Amino acid sequence: MSPDLWLLYPLMLKSRLYEEAIARLWHDGLISGEMHLGTGEEAVIAGVVAHLREGDGMALDHRGSAALLMRGVDPVLILRELLGHSGGLCGGMGGHMHLFSKEYLAASSGIVGAEGPIAVGFALSAQYLRPGAIAVAFFGEGAMNQGMLMESMNLASAWNLPVLFVCKDDGWAITTRSEKVTGGDLNERARGLGIPAAEVDGCDVSAVWQASHSAIERARSGHGPTFLYARCVHFEGHFLGFQMIRIVRDPLKEMSDIAVPLAQSFVCPGGAALRERLAGLKTILADVFSTLRDPRRDSANDPVRCARSILQSDTARLQALEDQLEKETNSALAAALAEVPS
């Protein structure tokens, strides 16, 4: 079987337009608290979710809206949930990090690594109650350093459970570079637990689709878990309004804003020794300068754009599809806002 980009691209674009609408709501102050989006990881999500069917479970991280949307959850219900509306997907009590859908057997959590036990629970129940059904866990590479995810992967291997563990590696856990806190190779770590590992380009939805097709078929036919590792970028950084992204987008402006407080903190009396201050300053400046070659500056890493460029030869079909998706997003937004008390 081969992937159909005319089915995968709409999933990704729908998610991108939807997240852009969420970002506008957040910037307008209609959504309170932090907002973690998955902008940039659409290919990883779409390439996997496209294989799911009734009875399959999904365990999601703090960037779960896109996967729910692609799975078929009502976009208006998700938006109302993010707006804190009692008519939202979880009665307005969950917010964007604790989204649940009973209908689609999907649960998200803001606890990093919690996708492991949730997916293994789904898979264990599938093994008894819904043979042939599988579970997927989506998580960032930071979660690979969380004990409960390792314990879950171990059990999935020992009990031969039908799980696909999907690691979306953007290289960062908030402001920590993952390479500074991660030992060894993550694929080898999975293999060490007896789980086969496959690595794919997280920008290439067809590659993700192909790799997850084999892994999911393997799980459905009783051959146990697989670890899928995909590198991707998060164009909005850790959350909306993330300062490092502001630096990536406009280094001169952001640097001029932080230069004075940084210089003041360096010369102010009291506090750490000069040597330590110098080391701190060097680290900050190195991180800031590294943003100049940050992969998030490069639109070649945008999975939606990559897929679109392949479909461009059929301009009329592409345009019709994009117009339709834009209309759907706008009407979901209007419906969600219509119900929000002012």
Ligand X SMILES: Cc1ncc(C[n+]2csc(CCOP(=O)(O)OP(=O)(O)O)c2C)c(N)n1
Establish if 110 lies at the interface with ligand X (CB under 6 A). Answer: yes
Separation CA 43–CA 67 (nearest Å): 11
Q: Which residues of 261-295 are buried (b: 16+ CB within 10 A; e: fewer)?
A: eeeeeeeeeeeeeeeeeeeeeeeeeeebeebeebb
Contact flag: residue 224 with ligand X (CB under 6 A): no
Q: How far apart are CA 268 and CA 283, in angstroms?
A: 19
Q: Quote the least distance from Cβ 116 to ligand X, whole Å.
A: 11
Q: Which stretch binds ligand X (CB under 6 A): 106-114, 151-159, 289-297, 312-320?
A: 106-114
- Selected from 42, 81, 115, 141, the binder of ligand X by CB under 6 A is 141
Binding mask of the shown chain, residues 242 to 281, with x at each position contacting ligand X by CB under 6 A: ----------------------------------------
Beta strands in the chain (DSSP E): 57-60, 100-101, 106-108, 135-140, 163-169, 172-173, 176-177, 197-201, 226-231
Q: Considering the rule CB under 6 A, would residue 95 count as an interface residue with ligand X?
A: no
Q: How many residues does the chain have?
A: 342
Tell me the closest approach of the beta carbon of residue 158 to ligand X, in angstroms: 23
Contact with ligand X (CB under 6 A): which of 9, 100, 165, 172?
172
State which of residues 12, 35, 69, 143 lies at the interface with ligand X (CB under 6 A).
143
Residue 140 engages ligand X in binding (rule: CB under 6 A): yes
Number of residues that bind ligand X (CB under 6 A): 17
Q: How far is the CB of 312 from ligand X (least distance, A)?
A: 30
Under the criterion CB under 6 A, does residue 204 sit at the interface with ligand X? no
Burial class for 60, CB neighbours closer than 10 Å (0-12, 13-18, 19+):
buried
Contacting range for ligand X; rule: CB under 6 A; set: 158-166, 169-177, 307-315, 318-326: 169-177
When the beta carbons of 85 and 168 are compared against ligand X, the nearer one is 168
Among residues 100, 85, 73, 74, the alpha carbon closest in space to that of 30 is found at 85
Residue 159 CB neighbours (<10 A): 14
Burial class (CB in 10 A: 0-12, 13-18, 19+), 145: middle
* Residue ranges in contact with ligand X by CB under 6 A: 62-63, 110-113, 139-143, 146, 170, 172-174, 238
